[in-house]
């Protein structure tokens, strides 16, 4: 199979676009101080686009796509950690998974889908402060809806006596 220079340049253009969109997503993560940043996401989208492009040239779209998803599942699982009763890294894993899909879309020449997908991922990630405020608001409302416990009288000294302490002492 001989691929001419024009086709190879088209592939390189797709790879550059994939790396830029991945870097765009990674920028948000890096600015927020997460370990997976610009380089990680650029490489994930770049790799997914390259595997998708090469698989099209070789005629094995479905198997290679399944392999990409499986492989990225292992990468995503490596960033999820349990700390006590909380789990950390779920959003990072989901973002890596989404970046992979964006790279695959570019490899299939679905540029509009990939561009809008990257923008939506960025918007969703930026929604964290908004969702945090909504969560705080809901917790406050939930606390106000719960019945406040009434102050109880102190228990009697003698468990057999039903009189309050003040009446017995004095």
Average pLDDT (17-30) is: 95
Average pLDDT (96-124) is: 95
What are 22's two structure tokens?
A: 């991945």
pLDDT tens digits along 26-61? 999 999 888 889 999 999 999 999 999 988 888 876
Cβ atoms within 10 Å, residue 107:
28
Q: What is the pLDDT of residue 142?
A: 76
Q: Which residues contact 32 (CB under 8 A, 6 or more apart)?
A: 125, 128
Q: What is the pLDDT of residue 127?
A: 87
Task: Name the least confident of 15-19, 63-67, 110-114, 151-155.
Answer: 151-155
Q: Average pLDDT of the chain?
A: 83
pLDDT tens digits along 133-156? 888 888 888 776 555 555 555 555
**27 closest CA partner among 114, 122, 116:** 122
Domain edges within the chain: 5-145
Q: What is the pLDDT of residue 152?
A: 52
Residue 168 pLDDT greater than 70, yes or no = no
CA distance 3 to 1: 7
Cβ atoms within 10 Å, residue 110:
14
């Amino acid at each position: 199979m001989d691929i001419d220079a024009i086709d190879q340049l088209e592939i390189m253009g797709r790879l550059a676009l994939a790396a830029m969109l991945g870097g765009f997503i990674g920028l948000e993560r890096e600015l927020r101080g997460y370990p997976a940043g610009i380089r990680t996401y650029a490489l994930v989208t770049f790799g997914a686009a390259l595997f998708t492009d090469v698989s099209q040239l070789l005629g094995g779209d479905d198997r290679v796509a399944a392999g990409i998803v499986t492989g990225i599942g292992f990468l995503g699982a490596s960033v999820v950690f349990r700390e006590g009763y909380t789990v950390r890294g779920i959003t990072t894993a989901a973002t890596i998974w989404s970046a992979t899909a964006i790279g695959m879309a570019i490899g299939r020449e679905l540029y509009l889908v990939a561009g809008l997908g990257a923008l939506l991922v960025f918007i969703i990630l930026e929604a964290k402060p908004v969702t945090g405020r909504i969560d705080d608001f809901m917790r406050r409302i939930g606390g106000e809806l719960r019945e406040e416990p009434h102050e109880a009288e102190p228990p009697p000294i003698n468990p057999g006596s039903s009189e309050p302490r003040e009446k017995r002492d004095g």
